[in-house]
Amino acid sequence: MIGFLIPLSIAMGLAGLAAFVWALRHGQFNDPQGDACRILIPQPPQQSPLKGEPDVRLVDDADHTDPRRRL
């Protein structure tokens, strides 16, 4: 059993090392500080996919703005 587990653990370690070297060479770790800051910047709202029509969630006179219009 141990004769099987030792080569298996060495192979898994080498696979992990190969994955790390691949990621290093393909630029996965180039700008970690910039990536961390970019997730905090709000994105502009997406336009509706139907010819520029406004999204119904962004309509100014939605029911939630006037409590008297609720059911």
User: For 13-48, how does the pLDDT look when each residue is reduced to its tens digit (9 = 90+)?
Assistant: 999 999 999 999 998 888 777 777 777 777 776 655
Total number of domains constituting the chain? 1
25 in any annotated domain = yes
- Domain containing 6 equals 2-59
Q: Match 């990621």 to its residue by tokens.
A: 23
How sure is the predictor about 63, in pLDDT bands with cuts at 50, 70 and 90? low
The residue to which tokens 């406004």 are assigned: 54
Is the residue at 49 inside a domain? yes
Is residue 16 in a domain?
A: yes
| Cα separation values, 53 from 43, 57, 60, Å | 19, 12, 14
Is residue 53 very low, low, confident or very high in pLDDT (cuts 50, 70, 90)? low
pLDDT-derived band at 66, boundaries 50, 70, 90:
low
Q: Give a three-class secondary structure readout of 10-22.
A: HHHHHHHHHHHHH
Q: What is the pTM of this model?
A: 0.47
- The confidence score (pLDDT) of residue 13 equals 98
45 contacts 58 by C-beta, under 8 angstroms: yes
